[in-house]
Amino acid sequence: MNFTSSDRAARFTESVIREMTRICLQHGGINLAQGFPDFAAPMEIKEAAVEKIRGDVNQYAITWGAPALRQAIAHKFQTFNGVAIDPEQEVTVCCGSTESMIASLMAVVNPGDEVVVFEPFYENYGPDTILCGATPRYVTLHEPDWHLEEEELRQAFNEKTKAIIINTPNNPTGKVFSREELSLIAELCRQWAAIAVTDEIYEHIVYDGAEHVSM
């Protein structure tokens, strides 16, 4: 049988992180490519999971997330990020940041649209835009402090721009976007009717007095 993958799937390659891990395992190397948590999950979380498993809590949750979890997320967003959100209308629970990002982009981006991506970028954002049929518009974060050039960012936006991906604190650079930079991005999003899709997975990991500002 002459089986071929879809054109969409053929346009991107294996994850670089997984590839490095695979090769590392093959050669017995020390794997610096992948994150390995060096601490256990908090006992309360483990106990709560065990309790629910033993209690046969095994039915489908509401598709967009169990109500108690959405309420807890809204509470955290209000108290930690300072933004009031409605758990019934404005929270959708996904399986991690990876699914959240692709689901969000799929929900707003059409084939032919453009998505602004800062580079260097976390490797999933390239395939994410390709899966949407969109064209990534890369904007460089400049060394040594990974600042963005306002004019370069302005040039990246146009009538085709549908979204911009922001990852702060940033993988791989560690850059924490400043309030001024985020304000500029917000201004451009309003001007061009684009959506800012943010990945703030490292919001609790900031150093040297840096302040995480949630978009």
Q: Contact positions toward ligand PLP, by CB under 6 A? A: 35, 96-98, 122, 167, 171, 199, 201
CA distance 56 to 29: 41
Nearer to ligand PLP, 121 or 157 (CB): 121
**Do 105 and 114 touch, CB atoms closer than 8 A?**
no
Nearer to ligand PLP, 123 or 178 (CB): 123
Min dist CB 122 to ligand PLP, Å, is 4
Min dist CB 98 to ligand PLP, Å, is 3
Min dist CB 1 to ligand PLP, Å, is 34
Min dist CB 92 to ligand PLP, Å, is 14
Nearer to ligand PLP, 135 or 171 (CB): 171
Min dist CB 141 to ligand PLP, Å, is 14
**Do 168 and 201 touch, CB atoms closer than 8 A?**
no
Q: Closest Cα to residue 97, out of 203, 210, 213, 206?
A: 203
Q: In what order do the strands lie in the sheet with 161-167?
A: 147-148, 135-142, 114-119, 161-167, 195-199
Nearer to ligand PLP, 133 or 174 (CB): 174
Min dist CB 19 to ligand PLP, Å, is 14
Nearer to ligand PLP, 140 or 160 (CB): 140
| Chain length of the chain | 215
DSSP letter (8 states) at residue 132? T
Nearer to ligand PLP, 161 or 167 (CB): 167
Which residue's C-beta sits nearest to ligand PLP? 96
Residue 21 tokens, joined: 């891990």
DSSP bridge pairs for 198: 166
Residue 138, classified by CB atoms within 10 Å of its CB into exposed (0-12), middle (13-18) or buried (19+), is middle
